[in-house]
A and B are shown apart, each in its own frame.
Chain A
Amino acid sequence: MKLYNGGKIITGLVIFLGIFLAPLAYNAGKAAYSQPKLKLPENEKECVESKEFMRTKHMQLLNEWRDYALRDGQRFYVNSKGKEFEMSLQKTCMKCHTNKAEFCDKCHNDASVTPYCWDCHIQPEGLKK
Chain B
Amino acid sequence: MKAIYSLILVLALVVIATLGAGAAKMQTIFAYCVPGTAFVIFVVGFVAKIIGWAKSPVPFRIPTTGGQQQSLDWIPQNKWDNPSTGPQTAMRMFLEIVTFRSLFRNTKVVLKHDDGKNPVVAYVSNKWLWLFAILFHYSFLIIVLRHMRLFLQPVPQVIVAIEFVDSVLQIYTPILYQTDTLILAGAGFLLARRLFDAKLRYISLVNDYFPLMLILAIALSGMYMRYIAKVDIMAIKEVVMGLTTFHFKAPVGIDISFYVHLFLVSTLLVYFPFSKLMHLGGVFLSPTRNLPNDTRMHHHENPWNNPAIKPHSYEAYEDEFREPMFEAGLPLEKNPEEAA
Could you list which residues of chain A lie within 8 angstroms of chain B, going by C-beta atoms? 1-6, 9, 12-13, 16-17, 20-21, 23-24, 26-28, 30-36, 52, 55-57, 59-60, 62-63, 107, 109-114, 116
Contacts and interface: CB of A to CB of B under 8 A. Distances in A.
Q: Looking at chain B, what size class is its interface with the partner chain?
A: 35 or more
Given A3-B51, A23-B152, A56-B232, 5 more contacts: A16-B50, A20-B43, A56-B230, A110-B237, A114-B163
Contact of A9 (B50, B152, B174): B50
Given A23-B148, A52-B253, A35 B234 contact: yes
B276 to A, nearest CB: 18
Interface stretch (B104-112, B183-191, B243-251, B311-319): B243-251
B284 A12 contact: yes
B58 A16 contact: no
Contacts of A52: 253
Contacts, number: 111
Contact of A110 (B153, B174, B249): B153
A17 B234 CA distance: 28
Given A12-B284, A20-B43, A27-B245, A35 B237 contact: yes
A16 B241 contact: no
B329 interface: no
B262 to A, nearest CB: 15
Nearest to B159: A112
Contacts of B235: 35
Contacts of A3: 51, 54-55
8 contacts: A3-B54, A5-B54, A20-B42, A21-B43, A35-B234, A57-B230, A110-B153, A111-B149
A71 B58 CA distance: 68
A59 B253 contact: no
